[in-house]
Amino acid sequence: MTDVAGRVPPGLRIVDTGTHLSRSAGRHSRGEAGVEPAVRTSRIAVQYVVTALISVLVVALCSVWASRVVAADYAVDGAIAGTQLAADEAVAPVLTDAVLTGDPAALEGLDRAVREKVLNVSMVRVKIWDETGRILYSDEPALIGERFGLGANEIEALHGGAPDAEMSDLSAPENRLEDRSVPLLEVYLPLRTPGGVPVLFEAYSHYAGVTEATQQVWTRFIPLGVGALVLLELLQIPISAVLARRLRRAQVQREEMLRRTLTALEDERLRIAADLHDGVVQDLAGVAFALGAAARVGGPARVAPAQLAESADTVRRSVRALRSLLVGIYPPNLHAEGLPAALADLAARLVPPGTTSVLDVRDPLPRLRREQVELVFRVAQEGLRNVVRHAAASVVEIALGQDGGVLVLCVTDDGKGSAPDRRVASGHLGLKALSGLAAQHGAVLVLDSAPGRGTTLRLEVPL
């Protein structure tokens, strides 16, 4: 602010806020939207890929462990099935009641069948127990007739339970003749003599066979499982790249929106400052100058009544102008009385004498959110300002109504018009900012203008 003579009052420092802000906005736009967002999004993409790789690795390790467990169970089930088949096909036909009494002929026939049809490279020991824990038969003759305690699982299997398998305890007394360096898997299942007496059939196999079967199943499963995970990760890489590009575009758009908002704010501040300086400030400065000159000439008593009346009128006009400016910044009746009343006040305030204003509001209007109401008002305000500044129009029409599921605002004038790109390029930063604000709310702002046929500013707000 300067005094009447154009001097800067003492103690007041003038800062070129417009240049400073625009340069700051430029640096912000170039730094943030041009380089840093790309770095950030690239970092996010790399983090996403690394996290996905770690997840794939964890899932692969869990799959390896689970597949080994499943394969081991599958191999044990195979050993149980093989033992069941040997018991049913080779042992049960030659198992007689005479075995219960240790008859040599019965034991010899049973031993012949076991050695010919049961024992092989994998299955190395066979025992048949009675319910007292006595070994009725074994391919190791030294064990026949000895008595050892049966475990709970073995007793349950002997009395008709399901076949079971477990690692053999080679330190147990009944296994004293086995090589402790070679782990064995023992499978036990129930059998009955022709007389209906229950006995327990127990077969010992090298655990290496289970390990080998596990390895075969596991090696077949792992390539499929891990291959599927790797394929999934390879498919995620282009997806992450697409997401990173979208994120980068969104960041650039946000930065551009911020830059436009800063520019629009600065433009609005400059407009308010210009309105105050060219209007109210000049009028009040003139009143102060006139009254000061009159006081210096002859004192307050010599001030003419007409001069006082003119000064009072000037002050009243300035007060009205200030109130009008405040209403333009934020109209008090916008939300209290609704859009029609606010648009009527706006047209009455902005449209100059000699220009006819027509307000066409089609009732009933839909219920709008607060931000939608403010968006419609700001677009109408900017449209009327452009009409006053550039159009040289005789008629301006403000039309507001609902068209299907869209609220439509049109500000139309019959002025001289111009090319839309030229209007925007000529300093209409308000339209740029409003276009970005409309996009934020899912609305569309369209400027339709051509030389000689006026201008239409159309806002479409989805409901």
Instruction: Give the best-scoring range by mean pLDDT among 61-75, 391-405, 423-437.
Output: 391-405
| Distance (Å, whole) CA 177 – CA 171 | 10
How would residue 141 be classed by pLDDT, with cut points 50, 70 and 90?
very high
76: in domain: yes
- Among 26-40, 187-201, 380-394, 409-423, which is the least confidently predicted range? 26-40
Q: Is residue 17's pLDDT more than 50?
A: no
- Whether residues 245 and 358 fall in one domain: no
* Domain identity same for 55 and 196: yes
In this prediction, residues 335-357 reach a mean pLDDT of: 81
390 within a domain of the structure (yes/no): yes
- pLDDT value at residue 36: 58
Report yes or no on 59 lying in a domain: yes
Dihedral angle computed from the Cα positions of residues 348, 353, 356 and 361, in that order, rounded to the nearest 10 degrees: 0
Domain stops at, among 187, 221, 256: 256
Residue 95: its pLDDT value, please?
A: 93
Neighbours of 142 (CB within 10 A): 10
Same domain for 245 and 347, yes or no, is no
Residues 124 and 234 placed together within one structural domain of the fold: yes
Position 363 in a domain: yes
Same domain for 437 and 350:
yes
Contact in structure between 153 and 163 (CB atoms under 8 Å): no
> In the prediction, which pLDDT does 313 show?
72
Mean pLDDT of 128-138: 93
- Per the domain annotation, does 145 fall within a domain? yes
74 within some domain: yes
Q: What pLDDT is recorded for position 138?
A: 93
| Highest mean pLDDT of the ranges 44-58, 156-170, 225-239 | 156-170
Last residue of a domain, one of 221, 240, 256: 256
Whether residue 146 is found in the same domain as residue 233: yes
Share above pLDDT 90 across residues of the chain, in percent, rounded to a whole number: 20
- Determine, yes or no, domain membership for 23: no
Residues 374 and 250 in one domain: no
The reply to whether 92 and 230 lie within a common domain is yes
Q: Give residue 323's pLDDT.
A: 61
CATH number of the structural domain spanning residue 343? 3.30.565.10
Q: Which domain holds residue 428?
A: 333-462
Cα dihedral value 345, 351, 353, 359, nearest 10: -70
When pLDDT is averaged across residues 424-448 and rounded to a whole number, the result is 72
Same-domain check for residues 351 and 234: no
- Segment 436-452 mean pLDDT: 85
Whether the pLDDT of residue 130 is over 50: the answer is yes
Instruction: Give yes or no: residues 155 and 250 share one domain.
Output: yes
Please report which confidence band the pLDDT of residue 458 belongs to, taking 50, 70 and 90 as the band edges.
Answer: very high
For the chain, how many structural domains are there in total? 2
Q: Which residues contact 63 (CB under 8 A, 6 or more apart)?
A: 222, 225, 226, 229
Question: Is 383 or 274 the better-scoring residue by pLDDT?
Answer: 383
Choose the final residue of a domain: 241, 256, 271: 256
Predicted pLDDT of residue 149: 86
Output the average pLDDT for the chain: 77
- Is the C-alpha dihedral spanning 328, 433, 427, 32 positive or negative? positive
Q: How confident is the model at residue 351 (pLDDT cuts 50, 70, 90)?
A: confident
| Per-residue model confidence (pLDDT) at position 29 | 41
Do 246 and 338 belong together in one domain? no
We report the CATH number of the domain holding residue 233 as 3.30.450.20
For the stretch 242-289, pLDDT in tens is: 877 887 888 788 888 777 777 767 766 776 766 666 666 677 777 777
Residue 242 in domain: yes
Question: Are residues 233 and 337 located together in one domain of the fold?
Answer: no
Report the share of the chain in percent with pLDDT over 70.
74
Structure tokens at 286: 């003139």
Quote the pTM value.
Answer: 0.41
